[in-house]
Amino acid sequence: MKKRILTVSSANMDFVMKVEKLPEAGQTVVESRSYSYVPGGKGANAALALARLGADSIFCARLGSDQNGKKLKELYQSNGVDTRFIKLDRLNPTGLASIIVEDDGANRIIVYPGANGFLSEEDVEDAFTCIPDAVFIQFEIPDEAVLAAAKFAKKRNIPIFVDAGPARTDYPLEKLPPLEIISPNESETLALTGILPNNSDNCLRAASALLNRVPAKYVVIKLGGRGAYIHDGKFSQLIPTFEGEVVDTTAAGDAFTSALTLEYLNTGDIVKSVRYANAVGTLVVGKAGASSSLPTAAEVDSFLRQRGAF
């Protein structure tokens, strides 16, 4: 039976610009590379990833009552995402993310929240009528909506999975109830703990610092090309990622944590789940775009078989 996962998070239209290098202040650069409008937003990436990987994916978000909002909702529906709890905002536009992708695949993102900034506790409470098996939360929505989702999940004994992005130094982690998994990337870990996880000692220090701020069964720190670091308060393990071409890192972290959540719900094995999530992340960075780069469960299974990772 499919796991029903409620994602409470953001939805954006991404304006993606490919550049050789960033211009200096005051400099104008004429580029021969492409630009495009691509469906994105951390929550949308997660909800779509979960649907493609075989979950019963429900999405709670806010879109503007504009052309971008219409296109995004149609996309989610065509990919099997349950959109009953997406609210259409007549006063605020659909969120927009401006994404600059350099030749090495690194990206820089500026987000204009738009309707995302008005996701409310009432919106979130309504979404819990879907009776989910788990709740997936990110920080690209108002703190009040995040805390409401966590509160309603705790009240119903529903496990909470947190992708801790985008993070900020004053994020109120202490207000969250006990989590199943919290998963920041390197920069998010630095923001939340003041520790850059650039070696094994700092990974342990950072993971311990996170657990001092919010109780969680597991901390899983995403380390990009180095893999992911697991810590449960007593034991730690670094799970290397798979080798692959890096075209665009957009949505890789969202897809990683989505895959981690689903595989963990299915197996209860944190190490196996991180390996599965590493495979998904590798597939995502090998393609351009956000939602367009998300793999299906069959593609992930084929990848793992080819790498002898089953």
pTM value surpassing 0.75: yes
Give dist(CA 288, CA 38) in Å, integer: 10
pLDDT at residue 21, rounded to an integer? 82
User: pLDDT tens digits for 244-279?
Assistant: 888 878 789 999 999 999 999 999 999 999 999 999
User: pLDDT tens digits for 15-70?
Assistant: 888 888 888 899 888 888 888 888 889 999 999 999 999 999 999 999 999 999 99
Q: Is 287 exposed, middle or buried (0-12, 13-18, 19+ CB in 10 A)?
A: middle
pLDDT at residue 90, rounded to an integer? 96
Going by C-alpha positions, the residue among 264, 224, 266, 260 that lies closest to residue 242 is: 224
Angle between helices 186-193 and 200-213 (to 10 degrees): 60
In this predicted structure, which of 34-43, 115-124, 140-149, 268-277 has the lowest mean pLDDT?
A: 34-43
Residues 6+ apart with CB under 8 A from 212: none
pLDDT at residue 310, rounded to an integer? 62
In this predicted structure, which of 194-208, 220-234, 244-258, 259-273 has the lowest mean pLDDT?
A: 244-258
Looking at the domain covering 4-21+34-300, what would its CATH class be? alpha beta
Q: Is residue 288 pLDDT above 80, yes or no?
A: no
Structural domain boundaries in the chain: 4-21+34-300
pLDDT at residue 36, rounded to an integer? 86
pLDDT at residue 23, rounded to an integer? 83
Chain-wide mean pLDDT for the chain?
A: 94
**Centroid of chain to Cα 129:** 23
Residues 6+ apart with CB under 8 A from 114: 12, 64, 89, 92, 93, 94, 95, 96
